[in-house]
Amino acid sequence: MKNIAMLFPGQGAQYSGMGKQLFSRYELVKEMFNAASDVLETNMEDLCFEAPADVLNSTENTQPALVLCSVAAYRVFQQETGLQPVVMAGHSIGEISALICAEAIGFEDGLRLARGRGQAMANCSQTGDTGMAAVLKLDRSYVEEVCNTIPGYQKDFVIANYNSAAQLVLSGRLDALEKVKAALKETDATYIPLRVSGAFHSPLMAPASDQFFDLVQGIKLDSPKIPVVANVNAKPYDKVNQIATLLTKQISQPVLWQESMQRLVSGEFEAIKLASDRIDLFIESGPGVVLKKLTSVLFADAKSYSLDHEDDEKPLKQQLEIDMRTLQYQPAFLGKCMAVAVSTRNNNFDNTSYQENVIEPYQKLKEMHELCTTEERKADDKEMKLGLHLLSQILTSKGAEQIELQQRFREIASVTGQTQLMEEYLS
């Protein structure tokens, strides 16, 4: 099974008509739009499909609209493929989309957070003297060196997004940004003012952070079922109480996107269990192709696709075809555990021990498998975890060495697609 990293876009990816194709094709998406309209007391069809650009681009509208369309795209992907990514990451507001899809935040609560976040950030932007600008074609260290020569750096303006080695975003007071622009005038840099009204991901957003923190206290949060890499520290969330803290900090601190992606690819995160030694596919779930393109900039050999890009539909399907077919015809999880138990060589010739630690656990495995077969269903997580425990007992009692245990469990993960559930057995 391929290792998939699912990426969720941030503000700037929105466009009029986003989500419309999915809405017209899938009842699931219509239901999500209806639910979102009720929760937000806003007609989300009109906002996403028909609203003038200035209405859609208002931060308090953009953020929940992006979350809605991004989560809808992911759920259609799940419905159509049955596949699950090994890791997720979202750029800025996209991190809330990722946490919803990882089941750490409920869909409706996530929409409320997105609307509240957008409103709080918009309230910090009403003076009209702040903004953001992209700086392209210059090395990060050089831009930081220039910024350090300008009064107010880290207070009145900051580098807010570290997107790639040669793509940074500045955020802060417009007069300070103009000074940076002037200082870069003699270089080959491309300086592009962004269509936002506030200094997002800068200390000037501190009041918005405070408002958001109060809001998130009333939301039920759970540990992500799929690892989600946070923007502010480029690490996966490892505790549920980190969610409120890191999402709050993100509003007034830089987005470490380049570092997040590089560390993700390096395989250094223990929380992310890979079936092989690399990320095979990067898939952008949501409007546009911003993160798809950025991934290609960061990793020249990366296979990156967007669920919103029509030209990607066929090649992505080809990439996933074998995994989808494997999933469709994969052996029952408990049945595979039984097969591994039977095929592992026995080195235990103590009859009493063999009866207690091989025969009896195997009989329990068989009973569980037969129950699932009779009820025409797959084993649930609790049953699969018990099956793994019984199999581990059997293999250990048979005298299997650690390297063989690792190989056997990796074999099960590969053919059943249950890498996340088996992470303690794969480490």
| Alpha helical stretches, state H, 149-255 | 174-183, 206-216, 242-252
Residue 107 is predicted with a pLDDT of 97
CA distance linking residue 135 with residue 296, whole number of Å: 18
Residue 215 is predicted with a pLDDT of 96
92 noted as active-site residue: yes
Residue 299 is predicted with a pLDDT of 93
Catalytic residue, from 201, 209, 260, 306: name it. 201
Residue 326 is predicted with a pLDDT of 66
pTM over 0.85, yes/no: no
Residues with Cβ within 8 Å of 86's Cβ and at least 6 positions away in sequence, in order, are: 3, 4, 5, 226, 227, 272, 273, 274, 275, 279, 419, 420
Residues with Cβ within 8 Å of 149's Cβ and at least 6 positions away in sequence, in order, are: 183
CA distance linking residue 117 with residue 65, whole number of Å: 12
φ and ψ of 338, to 5 deg: -65, -45
CA distance linking residue 357 with residue 175, whole number of Å: 74
Residue 153: which H helix or E strand, with range? Answer: none
Residue closest to 50 by CA, chosen among 68, 65, 71: 65
Q: Domain residue spans in the chain?
A: 4-124+203-328, 130-193, 331-426
Cβ-contact 243, 110 below 8 angstroms: no
Residue 330 is predicted with a pLDDT of 59
Residue 249 is predicted with a pLDDT of 98
Task: Give the length of the chain.
Answer: 427
Cα 150 to chain center, whole Å?
36
Residue 374 is predicted with a pLDDT of 85
Residue 329 is predicted with a pLDDT of 56
Residue 196 is predicted with a pLDDT of 81
Residue 276 is predicted with a pLDDT of 60
Catalytic residue, from 92, 97, 171, 397: name it. 92
pLDDT digits (tens, 9 = 90+) for 189-243: 999 998 787 999 999 999 999 999 999 999 999 999 999 999 999 999 988 999 9
Asked if domains 4-124+203-328 and 130-193 share a fold, the reply is no
Cβ-contact 196, 11 below 8 angstroms: yes
Residues with Cβ within 8 Å of 8's Cβ and at least 6 positions away in sequence, in order, are: 70, 74, 88, 89, 90, 91, 94, 95, 97, 98, 101, 284, 285, 286, 291
Helix axes 140-148, 174-183, angle to 10 degrees: 120
Q: Which residues of the chain have a pLDDT value below 70?
A: 271, 273-277, 326-331
Q: Which fold has domain 4-124+203-328?
A: Malonyl-Coenzyme A Acyl Carrier Protein; domain 2 (3.40.366)
CATH hierarchy code of domain 130-193: 3.30.70.250
- Is the backbone of residue 376 left (phi > 0), alpha (psi -120 to 50) or beta? left
Maximal C-alpha separation, the chain: 83
- According to the 3-state scheme, what is the secondary structure of 69-109? HHHHHHHHHHHHHCCCCCEEEECCCHHHHHHHHCCCECHHH
Residue closest to 244 by CA, chosen among 91, 61, 104: 104
